[in-house]
Amino acid sequence: MISPELRFEGFDARAWTNLLSLFFPGVVECSGNAERGAEIGALEGESASGSLFVIVDEERRVLQAFHSSRGRVRGLSHLGEESLESLCRAHASTRIVVLREGAMEELSERMAMRMQRGDDYLSQWLIVLRSWREMQDEGSIQVWPRGFSHFPLPTPNQARVLLDWFLPQNRVLLAVLWDKGTPWTALALHRGKEAIDLVAGPDLISLWTGPLGGDWRRDYRVITRAISRSLAPVHLGFFGEVSTLQHLLQHPTPGAWARAVTIRDLIVYPTPPYIPMILGADLARALGRSSAAWFASRPLPKVFSPLQRRVSQWFEAPSVESK
């Protein structure tokens, strides 16, 4: 996915932290100091956060347990039959990882045996994930919630085909965001022959574009042309106010994205074939939701109630009961 010759240039601290804050707001914005070192037991009533790590021996005797932000956990001596979910809740954690002693060393050895000189980063990560899955299957690593661990892992070739479809060779993915008309952050990803080989930030992008007019609904064409001229043709571009994008990311209600694009609160240009598909699906979801809400609100005989409920749940529409 990323080239060994990857270049990353053109970000000041603000532009980079702005960009990350869109996707990882907690990492960038969290302030204050986590109280560490407190020896804690079960934390009834506390809101769940962080990860609980438990290391056990062959007999599932607990050798050590610690929380990622609260430190050492006391009072766990043996993992019995209780579910990881209940243990996670009892310790006010969002995730639990149970490792058999030596599991990380084993993972490291398996990775080292399987990696070949010349493997790219994607192939290397797939080796790590495959080894991890193996060890989960063997029971030396347990994780709750399991997240994506039910999904099959792609082969490196499959992953490359997916990348070809998403961002073909020698094409650029571009995103430029403004805050009340002032440039807020920008990103240009260039796909080389095999993988992403350039991540360019606002400094570099502004070098290519030169001064802009100040109206982003017009400037986006200038930017797209400048990038296509200086770097490579733009395959997909996002342009808009940061507040719009933040709202869409935080409240992705059905149809919101399609609406934002339709009324040009968010400009997507150029538009590769998968974008209309995605927006169409979003629109269909919105239509389905409206229809389901309408259907749920109809005064139908009681025999239809289960069907009304099922349809409401399917489209996340207000249910019969809530009406």
Residues that bind another protein (CB under 8 A): 2-17, 20, 24, 27-28, 30-34, 36-37, 39, 53, 55, 62-64, 66, 68-69, 71-72, 99, 101-105, 107-109, 111-113, 115, 117, 119-121, 124, 128, 199, 201, 203
User: At its nearest, how many Å lie between another protein and the CB of residue 173?
Assistant: 16
User: At its nearest, how many Å lie between another protein and the CB of residue 210?
Assistant: 15
Query: DSSP string spanning 257-313?
Result: HHHHHHTTSEEE-S--THHHHHHHHHHHHHHHHHHHHHHHHS---GGGHHHHHHHHH
Give the Cα separation of 100 and 81 in Å (integer): 16
Backbone torsions φ then ψ of 155, nearest 5 degrees: -80, 165
User: At its nearest, how many Å lie between another protein and the CB of residue 150?
Assistant: 24
Give the Cα separation of 25 and 36 in Å (integer): 22
User: At its nearest, how many Å lie between another protein and the CB of residue 9?
Assistant: 5
Nearer to another protein by C-beta: 44 or 105? 105
User: At its nearest, how many Å lie between another protein and the CB of residue 105?
Assistant: 4
Nearer to another protein by C-beta: 37 or 299? 37
User: At its nearest, how many Å lie between another protein and the CB of residue 41?
Assistant: 14
Q: Is 10 left (phi over 0), alpha (psi -120 to 50) or beta?
A: left
**Distance (Å) of CA 317 to CA 247, 297, 301, 304, 309:** 20, 10, 20, 16, 9
Nearer to another protein by C-beta: 183 or 201? 201
User: At its nearest, how many Å lie between another protein and the CB of residue 320?
Assistant: 45
Give the Cα separation of 302 and 280 in Å (integer): 34
Whether residue 141 contacts residue 135, with contact meaning beta carbons closer than 8 Å, is answered with: yes
Nearer to another protein by C-beta: 79 or 284? 79
Pairing of strands 2-9, 196-200: parallel
Give the Cα separation of 69 and 38 in Å (integer): 10
Bond from prior residue into 299 cis (ω within 30 degrees of 0) = no
Give the Cα separation of 266 and 270 in Å (integer): 12
Nearer to another protein by C-beta: 101 or 265? 101
Nearer to another protein by C-beta: 19 or 174? 19
Nearer to another protein by C-beta: 22 or 222? 22
